Structure 1
Amino acid sequence: MSRMRKKVIVITDGDEYARRAIRHIASELGGTSLDDLAGNPTRATKEEIIKGIERATSEPVFVLVDDAGVSGIGAGESILLQIATHPSVDIIGALAVASHTKFREWSRFDFSIDLDGNLVPFGVDKEGVPELDVDRISGDTVYALDQLTIPTIVAIGDIGKMRGRDDIKYGAPVTKRAIELILERDEQHGAASTGNADSIQT
């Protein structure tokens, strides 16, 4: 029996602020938040997360992973690398969350959004303020993103914070906009694929 792949959006942050923000955004935009399996650092197993993805009743499924400042491949990135190739998982995008960790790991990105919700060509820091690096962001759970083929990676500051601009009491608007970018790109990709298929058949 073939297994249906679930659309997944990866969030490289698992603290309480991120969990609350993603839970709220999933309730507004649709989808399933696996915030109950999130942690700082990630403590859930690959099997637990895969089971959560497969049992999700709506998509996308939001998976939160976090290394909690560990250098190299920590708990969060290890889980990400394990689930990325699972036949039930289709990662359509990721939020690459900046951090102030002394271990300056980095990842490429497709879009970057600052604390005011503006798209910028530079990476951003934990506060959502643009940095000098173009097309890359530093963080403690972002290195593995560069090892995977992920259609859309959005660089963003610390979810639910960013000097209060992304506070849950405002609906976490910066994070919400970042998620919307991923969903828009996925929809465009799906439409383009359908169009190509139609043109081949005619």
Structure 2
Amino acid sequence: MKQNKKKVIIITDGDEYAKKTIEFLSKDIGGTCLAYLSDNPTHVTPEEVIKAVHQANADPVYVLIDDAGIQGVGAGEKVLLALANDPFTEIIGAVAVAAHTKNMEWSRFTFAIDNNGELIPNAVDKEGILVPDTDRINGDTVYLLDQLNLPIVIAIGDIGKMYGKDDIKKGSPITKKAIEIIIERGGSNE
């Protein structure tokens, strides 16, 4: 009997806004949110996250990781790397969250969604505003995304914020759109 892989969506933010937004959206869209394991920065071990992913009741499983500005491979990215190497897990996409950090961490992405909900080919900043002539996103926890050959990476501004345009009271439409596109294009176990 073939074991189905757990489908995972990586969210590169773990602050309180991100936790509340992803918990809310997981109830709306479906899936299992592991926000209780997230923090800013990530404190749980890769093994704890993998165990929780394996035990999740519904796909996709939303994993929030955050390096809180730590350069290189921080705790959040160690979780990402472990999930990418786990034979029972399939990362179907990532929501790459922009940050103000100028620590040279960046990633290419499939496309971005600005704070008006428009799909754009250029990067966005933390507020979800277009960054002209840039095809990569700066962020705290995006260093490894570029190296893992994920099926889809969507760049957005700061989850639950973006001048109130992604507020949970409005249904967090920008983050929701990013997740829905990842699910729509998500990998298959067939």
TM-score if structure 1 supplies the norm length? 0.90
Which region of structure 1 is more displaced relative to structure 2, 126-135 or 158-167? 126-135
8 Å contact kept, 2:109–2:135: yes
8 Å contact kept, 2:83–2:91: no
Following TM superposition, the consecutive aligned residue runs of length 4 or more in structure 1 with deviations greater than 4 angstroms are none
Residue 4 of structure 1, CA deviation: 3.0
8 Å contact kept, 1:104–1:140: no
Give 2:139's aligned residue.
139
1:173 is aligned to 2:141: no
Runs (5+) with no aligned partner, structure 2: none
Give 1:102's aligned residue.
102
8 Å contact kept, 1:11–1:94: yes
SS of the equivalent of 1:14 reads coil
Give 1:199's aligned residue.
none
- One-letter amino acid of the structure 2 residue matched with residue 81 of structure 1: L
Q: Tell me the distance in 2 between the aligned counterparts of 1:37 and 1:116.
A: 30
1:87 is aligned to 2:87: yes
Give 2:182's aligned residue.
182
Q: Tell me the distance in 2 between the aligned counterparts of 1:114 and 1:61.
A: 24
Residue 127 of structure 1, CA deviation: 0.3
Residue 3 of structure 1, CA deviation: 4.1
| Alignment map for 1:1-202 (pairs within 5 Å) | 3-186=3-186, 190=188
- One-letter amino acid of the structure 2 residue matched with residue 56 of structure 1: A
Give 1:197's aligned residue.
none
Q: Tell me the distance in 1 between the aligned counterparts of 2:145 and 2:11.
A: 11
SS of the equivalent of 1:143 reads coil
8 Å contact kept, 2:97–2:126: yes
Per-residue deviation, residues 6-32 of structure 1 (Å, max 9, x unmatched): 000000000000000000110011000
Per-residue deviation, residues 97-144 of structure 1 (Å, max 9, x unmatched): 000012021101112000111011110000000102433111111010
Identical columns (%): 57
8 Å contact kept, 1:110–1:154: yes
Q: Tell me the distance in 2 between the aligned counterparts of 1:45 and 1:56.
A: 17
Which region of structure 1 is more displaced relative to structure 2, 67-76 or 11-20? 67-76
Per-residue deviation, residues 62-97 of structure 1 (Å, max 9, x unmatched): 000000011111111121112211012100000010
8 Å contact kept, 1:9–1:62: yes
- One-letter amino acid of the structure 1 residue matched with residue 99 of structure 2: S
8 Å contact kept, 2:46–2:78: no
Q: Tell me the distance in 1 between the aligned counterparts of 2:4 and 2:43.
A: 26
Q: Tell me the distance in 2 between the aligned counterparts of 1:164 and 1:43.
A: 28
Q: How many residues align?
A: 190
Give 1:200's aligned residue.
none
8 Å contact kept, 1:124–1:130: yes
Q: Tell me the distance in 2 between the aligned counterparts of 1:138 and 1:167.
A: 22
